[in-house]
Amino acid sequence: MYIRGRYLILALIAAIVISSGVTALLTSGDGTSALPESTTATPEFQKLMETYSTLQKSFYQEAKSDQLLNGAIEGMIKSLDDPYSTYMAPTEAAQFHENIESSFEGIGAEIRAEEGKIVVVSPIKGSPAEKAGVKPNDRIRSVDGKVLDGMTASEAVVHIRGKKGSKAELIIERPGVQGEINISLIRDTIPLETVYSEMLPEQMGKIQITKVSETTYTEFSKALEDLKAQGMKGLIIDVRQNPGGLLNMTVKMVDELLPEGKMILQVEYRNGERDTYKSNAKSFDLPIVVLIDEGTASAAEILASALKESGGVPLVGTKSFGKGTVQTTKQFEDGSDIKYTIAKWLTPDGNWIHKNGIEPDYKVELPAYASLPAIDPEKELKQEQFSNEVKAAQTMLDALGFHPGRVDGFFDNKTTEAVTAFQKANNIEATGTIQGKTTTKMMELLHEKLKKNDTQLEMAQRVLRKLIP
């Protein structure tokens, strides 16, 4: 979650990065220090300057000034041991702000660095990552053969992003799944729209918020008014797979839903001081239920916890991700940024959900097939093969009513018979192998089945039905 416009920068970094002329940051024209005398006189800065000077003069290859400086900043940020604080070079910084403010091209997944691994917080709705079956907590080990282990999140983004239409080959580790998962997808423009609304049966309104960007409050407010105009009797807010975003937009959305004076959240700084955010708007006078899951993070967790603790709103789904810190960014004249944690946020009751998440009032799992990875349509799966892709395909066939007899990843005669039956039922050439149209149709039908069998949404509707007068 990010606070825009509030820059509490570390004095050490501010003293070093004072202009875009990198060499001039450290030395003047005659080779003496360009930093203030009071700064360079301190032991810490003297050590830094001596290291810089030594490497400039004695390293066996030419040491570029900007490379040394960027490395020093990256090292300081990494020493904080905070996966949400990072240094971003100009290109990375531009991509970061693009993600918050507008559409962009890539696979569409929010990531973070954790213990040397790149971890998916949540895929974005409608993105190639979501369609390909990328899940929260997946570890992306490599992209197009480039190993991501040891990278910061901003470094990994450079390799994960790419032009629309370009292919991305991901190797993923998934908790609870043995072996690696290979996912192939085509990068695309990630949609700007972050709010989707519809009217469900019995005049139940549903608003899904996929992330929180600059446009989200406006989209949310419009969706709310549209549903009210259609005679909405109760509201389901769906923040599953929502990786978070901007604090100010989140506060404005919650402000529309809670009675005046109710606590939305508290932000606590390292000196113990707290900022409190309270609702100023009139109360939303219809019952609400909120859907959460393991991909609900940060700003989305603020919304869920505020409605639960200050509004008595029931939560349905599975435990949320658990990100309870607040970040801001500082941009430098050369276009680079540092994103760093400035505080932790607390729920209205003063709870810190960091690494713990929020427990739902009604715990409901999705069907097992909801967690299946996508299969690359270009890859042929056939008899005598043994792989995770075959196992996923067998599970898909079983869920669709074409029983392969086993779901252990070994492609045997029974699996061939199930594939042939599936192909005949869907007017596809009966080859008995899985590739191309067969793969695509299997995933398409499974997605449709999941939409019709959304057990979490069904429970939310049952809960809301009891709350509607």
CATH number of the domain that 319 lies in?
3.90.226.10
Indicate which CATH number applies to the domain containing 176.
Answer: 2.30.42.10
389 in active site: no
Residues in the chain where the model's pLDDT stays below 50: 4-37
Contacts of 305 (CB under 8 A, 6+ apart): 265, 347, 348, 351, 353, 358
Residue in this structure with the two tokens 């996966």, named with its chain if needed: 83
Per-residue model confidence (pLDDT) at position 12: 27
Please check whether residues 267 and 280 belong to one and the same domain: yes
Domain-embedded: residue 335: no
pLDDT digit string (tens) for 21-75? 222 222 223 333 344 445 555 777 888 889 989 999 999 999 888 889 888 888 9
Please check whether residues 235 and 317 belong to one and the same domain: yes
Domain boundary among the residues 172, 190, 208 is at: 190
Per-residue model confidence (pLDDT) at position 371: 84
Per-residue model confidence (pLDDT) at position 9: 24
Joined together, the tokens standing for residue 341 give: 């944690």
Please check whether residues 322 and 418 belong to one and the same domain: no
Are 434 and 419 within 8 A, CB to CB? yes
Prediction pTM value: 0.76
Please check whether residues 209 and 307 belong to one and the same domain: yes
What is the domain range of residue 363?
A: 195-327+340-367
Per-residue model confidence (pLDDT) at position 326: 95
Per-residue model confidence (pLDDT) at position 113: 84
Per-residue model confidence (pLDDT) at position 260: 92
Report the number of distinct structural domains present in the chain: 4
Q: Which of 122, 154, 213, 298 is catalytic?
A: 298
Please check whether residues 138 and 264 belong to one and the same domain: no
Q: Which is nearest to 256 in space by CA: 292, 227, 296, 294? A: 227
Indicate which CATH number applies to the domain containing 395.
Answer: 1.10.101.10
Per-residue model confidence (pLDDT) at position 333: 86
Q: Which of 131, 323, 339, 441 is catalytic?
A: 323
Domain-embedded: residue 333: no
62 in active site: no
Q: Which of 309, 336, 389, 391 is catalytic?
A: 309
43 Cα distance to chain centroid: 41
Please check whether residues 361 and 384 belong to one and the same domain: no
Per-residue model confidence (pLDDT) at position 290: 98
299 vs 280: CA distance, rounded Å: 19
Please check whether residues 357 and 219 belong to one and the same domain: yes
Per-residue model confidence (pLDDT) at position 3: 54
323 in active site: yes
